[in-house]
Amino acid sequence: MDKKVALFPGSFDPFTKGHEDIVLRSLHLFDEVVIGIGHNANKQRYFPLEKMVAHISDTFRDHPNVRIKTYDDLTASVAQSLGARFLLRGLRNTTDFEYENGISQVNRYLSQHLETVFLITSPQFAPISSTIIRDVHRYGGNVNEFLPYRL
């Protein structure tokens, strides 16, 4: 039987409790979840990549079926190199769906064996976004309540 591997791609700048929730809820669906921290050409990172990898690694230290990979390539290509047949994405609202739907169709075009699986964000995490967390942090606000680790 083929191992069910899912790639959970994103910039994760930062990785939030909402992201953690999606990964934890997906573990019964997949044998392995790879959190793929991709380089987004349209974004300058706010939190250092090395620190984010360390925080995410620590968050999932008790889950050997979760690993982290950084990449600077097409997500579909990375999924193929990992043997992942699934892309995992979280949806907070209809705006997320519109955005993610287009991306999933392009990924499907690039790799016909790649399925995107959407999980709806748990209600308590729906208002949390990395953008909002960056803005609060930039102006000195405490963001630790929104993160599965301490900054």
Query: Which residues are designated catalytic?
Result: 19, 43, 92, 130
Report CA 34 to chain centroid distance, whole Å: 9
E-state strands within 1-146: 5-10, 32-38, 66-71, 86-91, 115-120
Identity at 124, one-letter amino acid code = Q
Query: 3-state SS of 107-148?
Result: HHHHCCCCEEEEEECCHHHCCCCHHHHHHHHHCCCCCHHHCC
Residue 85 vs residues 7, 8, 13, 116, 132: alpha-carbon distances, Å = 8, 11, 25, 9, 31
Helix, strand or coil, per DSSP, at residue 47: coil
